[in-house]
């Protein structure tokens, strides 16, 4: 069964490039295209896609509000955000809106297709370059605005290893390969870490890994 994708970007050229990329994969199809956030919300509601590839800067309703409405609806669509290096503030807005993944627009086609599959499977994914920007943003924040430090007591050595790899932006499949475990086991470790560390989501785990000294801002 094909992964159903809606592409939302206000630039026709980028939409065409993304549509072509998705069409190159046998296990997915583009079922709709949107040039505004409002159109993306309408298409998500009408077409019930598995994944919405969402640009953040669009006229009218932006990608953040569109992401919020889609993730709070009953469509079950997951949002994969497309961002640029100079768009950190919007990335944080999309995090709070419920986006499941973050890509930079200059990623290779193979990596984009992999990200779609990861997000469609119910997992989350953050491009390593976006992860570094998130951590750098935490470093620059004024005192009192960062996520409160968390203790890592109560987690196992293996869970600590997984947390470090999550902190570098690796998806579960790559974590599994690094640690010679199954993807299901890697996902189980991440789920346990979310519970033990009282983390909201995978991105919060990245911040916790940084604050615990498992990854650095320059990694």
* Shared domain check, 105 and 37: yes
pLDDT beyond 90 at 54: yes
Nearest-10 Cα torsion for 137, 142, 148, 152: 60
Domain check: are 169 and 99 in the same one?
no
User: What average pLDDT does the segment 34-43 reach?
Assistant: 96
> Model's pTM, two decimal places?
0.71
C-beta separation of 27 from 44 below 8 A: no
Does residue 137 fall inside a structural domain?
no
140 pLDDT tier (thresholds 50, 70, 90): low
Q: How many domains does the chain have?
A: 2
Amino acid 4: pLDDT: 97
Of 110-114, 127-131, 140-144, the least confident: 140-144
Give the model's pLDDT for residue 219: 47
Domain assignment present for residue 127? The answer is no
Last residue of a domain, one of 94, 122, 150: 122
Q: Which whole number is the average pLDDT over 93-102?
A: 79
Q: Which domain holds residue 160?
A: 142-211
Point out the domain boundary residue: 122, 154, 182: 122
Mean pLDDT score across all residues of the chain: 83
Residues 18 and 79 in one domain: yes
pLDDT class for 51, splitting at 50, 70, 90? Answer: very high
For residues 118 and 178, membership in a common domain is answered with no
pLDDT, residue 22, reads 94
* pLDDT score of 132 more than 70: no
Q: By percentage, how much of the chain surpasses pLDDT 70?
A: 83
Q: Is the pLDDT of residue 13 over 90?
A: yes
Residues 53 and 151 in one domain: no
| 2 phi and psi angles, rounded to 5 deg | -70, 145
Is residue 217 in some structural domain? no
Question: pLDDT grade, residue 105 (50/70/90)?
Answer: confident
Residue 99 and residue 59 in one domain? yes
Whole-angstrom Cα distance, residue 209 to residue 195?
Answer: 15
Domain match, 80 and 159 both: no
User: Based on the domain organization, do 112 and 9 belong to the same domain?
Assistant: yes
Looking at residues 114-132, what average pLDDT do you find?
Answer: 77
Check whether 68 has a pLDDT greater than 50.
yes
- Looking up residue 18, the CATH number of its domain turns out to be 3.40.50.2300
Please tell me whether residues 44 and 112 are part of one structural domain: yes
């Amino acid at each position: 069964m094909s992964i159903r994708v809606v592409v939302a970007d206000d630039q026709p050229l980028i939409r065409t490039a993304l549509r072509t990329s998705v069409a190159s994969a046998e296990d997915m199809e583009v079922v709709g295209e949107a040039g505004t956030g409002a159109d993306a919300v309408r298409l998500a509601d009408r077409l019930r896609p598995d994944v919405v590839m969402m640009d953040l800067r669009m006229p009218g309703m932006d990608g953040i509000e569109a992401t919020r409405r889609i993730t709070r609806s009953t469509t079950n669509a997951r949002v994969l955000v497309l961002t640029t290096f100079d768009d950190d503030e919007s990335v944080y807005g999309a995090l709070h809106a419920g986006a499941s993944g973050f890509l930079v627009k200059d990623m290779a086609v193979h990596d984009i297709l992999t990200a779609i599959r990861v997000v469609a499977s119910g997992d989350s994914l953050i491009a390593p370059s976006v992860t570094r920007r998130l951590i750098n943003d935490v470093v620059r924040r004024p005192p009192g605005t960062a996520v409160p430090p968390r203790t890592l007591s109560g987690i196992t050595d293996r869970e600590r290893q997984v947390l470090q790899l999550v902190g570098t932006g690796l998806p579960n499949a790559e974590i599994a390969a690094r640690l010679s475990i199954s993807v299901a086991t890697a996902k189980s470790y991440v789920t346990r870490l979310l519970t033990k560390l009282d983390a909201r989501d995978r991105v919060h785990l990245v911040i916790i890994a940084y604050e615990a000294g498992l990854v650095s801002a320059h990694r």
